[in-house]
A and B are shown apart, each in its own frame.
Chain A
Amino acid sequence: QQQVKQSPQSLIVQKGGIPIINCAYENTAFDYFPWYQQFPGKGPALLIAIRPDVSEKKEGRFTISFNKSAKQFSLHIMDSQPGDSATYFCAASIVDGNKLVFGAGTILRVKS
């Protein structure tokens, strides 16, 4: 049973498009929601993270939108580039806990 549900499984966009990846969770004890980016043959790396008391967070071209009442959050990539082609994972954690729970991942391909 996946504690964090992620969609879509894969996504293809044209360069300059805005891919959107969605995640949903059930456990209201989660209080930190990071996104990880993984390039082929590499380990995942933290991209951006948000706490549930904030509805939006931007870092460069990456934006997280958070809807606490719906228990959903999403990643938007503005002006996407071929170099953004990677697998993206949403995740959730409890700050004082020691576990990070991941979604199933979204394979993004940005066509030039």
Chain B
Amino acid sequence: NAGVTQTPKFQVLKTGQSMTLQCAQDMNHEYMSWYRQDPGMGLRLIHYSVGAGITDQGEVPNGYNVSRSTTEDFPLRLLSAAPSQTSVYFCASSRHGDSYEQYFGPGTRLTVT
């Protein structure tokens, strides 16, 4: 099992550009989520999904879109990148009802200039 995979590992964007961060898992987990990690702020939930076709907002959803067309994939879209979105982004998955035990991907380090 590859677990949770994320691409790319690093990305530099200019303000106003758009991009999609990819996330996939092969553990057949129903629940998937996106977090951003900033120094001194821990991990903050951006969006999450409890199954294909179902998504919901987390703590910091503004500027990000998600969709969940399959159980395996959960891409995160930045529509118009801003410097405030410079961060490390983590995708995670877990079994439904076991949100305490999340499996994280290796992260994407995004810089917006």
Interfacial residues, chain A to chain B (CB-CB below 8 A): 2, 6, 9, 32-34, 41-46, 49, 89, 91, 93-105
Contacts and interface: CB of A to CB of B under 8 A. Distances in A.
Contacts of A98: 31, 33, 48, 50, 56, 96, 99
A44 B107 CA distance: 10
Contacts of B99: 93-95, 97-100
Interface in B25-60: 31, 33, 35, 40-45, 48, 50, 56, 58
Interface of B: 4, 31, 33, 35, 40-45, 48, 50, 56, 58, 90, 92, 96-102, 104-107
B40 A9 contact: yes
B35 to A, nearest CB: 8
Nearest to B98: A95
Nearest to B30: A98
A32 B35 CA distance: 19
Sorted from nearest, which 7 A-B pairs have the closest CB atoms? A43-B104, A32-B100, A102-B42, A104-B42, A102-B43, A93-B100, A34-B100
